Amino acid sequence: MTPEQYDHWYASGRGRWIGETEFRLLSSELDCQPGDKVLDVGCGTGWFTRRIAGLPQSPSVTGVDIDGEALTYARGQDSDTCYLPANAAQLPFVDSSFDRVMSVTALCFVPEWPDALSEIIRVTRGRFVVGLLNRHSLLWRQKGRGRNQSAYQGAYWHTRRELRDVLISLPVIKRPFPNRDLASRGARDRPNA
């Protein structure tokens, strides 16, 4: 699937409904404030990146991905946002560089996803939101289960327990784990934050 095909899926009836539903949840959980610096890890074509950048709070958004073709497409759609090549498991930013960090289904394609989640927390001084493919979802029953069709080819479908076990080992504020497909957590207070 090309970046154009992927991005244009969001213009289809199903894609529009899913994308807008996910975006509303994502933007609500990120809770961007005026002047926030936001990082989108695994931004791909920049579909969510562009929408966060367009919020009334006018956050400054940076998108990172390892897919050069997707980054080129993203830059072509949005010349105001910074899009950089970067590995999610080795982010090229100093600790606490961003007020908000998001990653929507990107970690499902990162073999070392616990390391990537640790990096997200390291560069966050505020909130982070991670959207994962849920192994116990209807979508997994339809598209997963070893079929890994189209955009899901090679994806890892997470369980709630796997995510919880990794989060417990990381420096995050301990809050009840929301019963949502996109979960929000705040970075633990740091001395220099």
Amino acid 92: pLDDT? 98
Amino acid 15: pLDDT? 87
- Residue 142, exposed/middle/buried by CB under 10 A (0-12, 13-18, 19+)? exposed
Predicted TM-score (pTM) of the model is 0.81
Q: Would the CA dihedral through 141, 142, 146, 150 be positive or negative?
A: negative
Amino acid 142: pLDDT? 56
Amino acid 182: pLDDT? 37
In the numeric block, the tokens 């958004």 are attached to: 61
Amino acid 157: pLDDT? 67
CATH of region 3-186: 3.40.50.150
pLDDT string in tens for the chain (193-residue length): 899 888 888 899 988 998 899 899 999 999 999 999 999 999 999 999 999 999 998 889 999 999 999 999 999 999 999 999 999 999 999 999 999 999 998 888 788 989 999 999 999 999 999 887 655 554 544 555 555 555 666 666 667 788 777 778 777 765 544 544 433 334 433 333 3
d(CA 144, CA 116): 22
Question: Which conformational region is residue 140 in: left (phi greater than 0), alpha (psi within -120 to 50 degrees), or beta?
Answer: alpha
Where do the domains of the chain lie?
3-186
pLDDT digits (tens, 9 = 90+) for 115-126: 999 999 999 999
d(CA 146, CA 186): 33
d(CA 152, CA 145): 11
Rounded to 10 degrees, the C-alpha dihedral 145/149/155/160 comes to: -40
